[in-house]
């Protein structure tokens, strides 16, 4: 691993996580036990959601979500191409076809509801927006579209843990959290996420019918978990085939420790985003994404869009020379060899974003001097 002076992201781990792991080791119970149950309860409470199911990772959560609403051959699922590959992969592996819609703008790289509407056909089954960088997609419009056309809404909320929805007027209709607005919401606790367990995820729903299905699909299609069997000594039935997408007790215990730090960590991330915004004020070559919505963000990513591809390359090089790590979220899915021949419709803003965006360091431990240094370096590039 390269030794960056200013890395993109650093884990906020300490004695809380070590104590949590030790508690599980001392208990000698490793799977589907009290830690998973408590993690689900605490997560659902933070979300004000009826159900939260801990799973092995967010890719598993997306796969379960697609199965829970019976997405399969012949179905189309509308989603952004500026996204991690998991949602498109799971759509294809469920036997359905992803249909890619463009983003709203370079400053708002989430699903454009007007383009989504033009792509709806009788085969459309679901819409899967992604809350880019922890900033919510235009959920009022997407919820309304789904209602009007009878579609399911799955929120890929992997970036947005702990973010609450506000509409264009800045109102929070019901104080609804990202992931609890549509039918299903997916979260990732991968090592670089705001809440990190290494591997892990959560699938959230307010629908009791989907909750029952998810619980069975997550664990082989069994009607009872091993923990419940351990407690009640009853048997189990298989109503339909399922997966093993469970989370284990060690990861759940560490997840609970991380959940305890989440909201303060997100606030620190927002403060740093505001500092970045201040530093980039009036810098005409750079667009900071979602700069006007920082107060509603989970602050997962700090992303700027350069005025050209060359400018982006210069910036990446300048920062690298100063020991500052950058990344890119994300290359357009349409550029991957497994996708570009199948999905030929060009998406203009998606392509521009993919050519010009850079991800800059952001994590709760990042120092303001480093933010200032980065914005000075960016401004100085000719």
By DSSP bridging, strand 302-306 and strand 124-127 are unpaired
Per CB under 6 A, the segment of 18-26, 79-87, 206-214, 289-297 that binds ligand PLP is: 79-87
By three-state DSSP, how is residue 186 classified?
Answer: strand
Task: In whole angstroms, give the CA distance from residue 71 to residue 126.
Answer: 8
Q: Which is nearer to ligand PLP, 293 or 327 (CB)?
A: 327
Per CB under 6 A, the segment of 10-18, 24-32, 155-163, 251-259 that binds ligand PLP is: 155-163
Q: Is 59 a residue that touches ligand PLP (CB under 6 A)? A: yes
Task: In whole angstroms, give the CA distance from residue 116 to residue 179.
Answer: 19
Per CB under 6 A, the segment of 136-144, 151-159, 172-180, 235-243 that binds ligand PLP is: 151-159
Provide, rounded to whole angstroms, the least separation between the CB of residue 156 and ligand PLP: 5
For ligand PLP (CB under 6 A), the number of binding residues is 13
Q: Please say whether the beta carbons of 65 and 230 come within 8 A.
A: no
Q: Is 57 a residue that touches ligand PLP (CB under 6 A)? A: yes
Q: 276, exposed or middle or buried, with CB in 10 Å at 0-12, 13-18, 19+? A: buried
Q: Which is nearer to ligand PLP, 33 or 109 (CB)?
A: 109
By three-state DSSP, how is residue 10 classified?
Answer: coil
> 340-351: string of b/e by CB count within 10 Å (b at 16+)?
eeebeeebebbb
Q: Please say whether the beta carbons of 79 and 88 come within 8 A.
A: yes
Cα–chain center distance at 178: 10
Provide, rounded to whole angstroms, the least separation between the CB of residue 152 and ligand PLP: 17
Task: In whole angstroms, give the CA distance from residue 187 to residue 190.
Answer: 9
Task: In whole angstroms, give the CA distance from residue 55 to residue 64.
Answer: 9
Q: Which is nearer to ligand PLP, 279 or 361 (CB)?
A: 361
Q: Which of 156, 183, 248, 249 binds ligand PLP (CB under 6 A)?
A: 156
Q: Which of residues 170-199 bind ligand PLP (CB under 6 A)?
A: 188, 190
Q: Which is nearer to ligand PLP, 57 or 326 (CB)?
A: 57
Task: In whole angstroms, give the CA distance from residue 181 to residue 155.
Answer: 8
Provide, rounded to whole angstroms, the least separation between the CB of residue 60 and ligand PLP: 7
Q: Is 324 a residue that touches ligand PLP (CB under 6 A)? A: no
Q: Which is nearer to ligand PLP, 190 or 290 (CB)?
A: 190
Q: Which of residues 93-132 bind ligand PLP (CB under 6 A)?
A: 130
Contact residues toward ligand PLP (CB under 6 A) are 57-59, 83-84, 86, 130, 156, 158-159, 188, 190, 201
């Amino acid at each position: 691993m390269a030794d960056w002076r200013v890395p993109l992201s650093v884990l906020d781990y300490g004695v809380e996580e070590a104590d949590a792991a030790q508690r599980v080791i001392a208990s000698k119970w490793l799977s589907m036990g009290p830690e998973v149950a408590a993690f689900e309860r605490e997560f659902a409470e933070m979300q004000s959601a009826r159900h939260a199911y801990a799973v092995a990772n967010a890719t598993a959560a997306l796969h379960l979500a697609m199965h829970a609403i019976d997405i399969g051959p012949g179905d189309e699922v509308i989603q952004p191409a500026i996204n991690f590959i998991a949602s498109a992969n799971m759509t294809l592996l469920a036997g359905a076809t992803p249909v890619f819609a463009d983003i709203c703008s370079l400053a708002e790289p989430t699903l454009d509801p007007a383009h989504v509407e033009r792509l709806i056909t009788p085969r459309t089954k679901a819409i899967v927006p992604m809350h880019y960088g922890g900033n919510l997609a235009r959920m009022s419009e997407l919820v309304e579209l789904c209602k009007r056309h009878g579609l399911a809404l799955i929120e890929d909320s992997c970036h947005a843990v702990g973010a609450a929805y506000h509409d264009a007027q800045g109102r929070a209709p019901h104080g609804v959290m990202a992931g609890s607005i549509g039918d299903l919401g997916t979260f990732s606790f991968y090592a670089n996420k705001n809440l990190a367990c290494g591997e892990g995820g959560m699938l959230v729903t307010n629908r009791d019918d989907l909750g029952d299905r998810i619980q069975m699909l997550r664990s082989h299609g069994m009607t009872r978990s091993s923990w419940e069997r351990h407690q009640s000594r009853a048997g189990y039935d298989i109503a339909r085939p399922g997966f093993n997408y469970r989370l284990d007790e060690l990861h759940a215990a560490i997840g609970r420790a991380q959940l305890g730090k989440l909201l303060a960590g997100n606030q620190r991330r927002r403060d740093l985003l505001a500092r970045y915004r201040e530093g980039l004020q009036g810098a005409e070559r750079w667009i900071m994404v979602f700069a006007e919505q920082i107060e509603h963000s989970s602050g997962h990513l700090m992303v700027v869009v350069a005025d050209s591809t060359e400018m982006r390359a210069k910036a990446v090089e300048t920062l690298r020379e100063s020991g500052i790590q950058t990344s890119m979220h994300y290359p357009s899915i349409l550029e991957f060899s497994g996708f570009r021949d199948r999905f030929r419709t060009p998406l203009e803003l998606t392509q521009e974003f993919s050519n010009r965006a850079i991800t800059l360091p952001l994590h709760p431990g990042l120092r303001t001097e480093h933010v200032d240094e980065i914005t000075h370096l960016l401004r100085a590039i000719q």
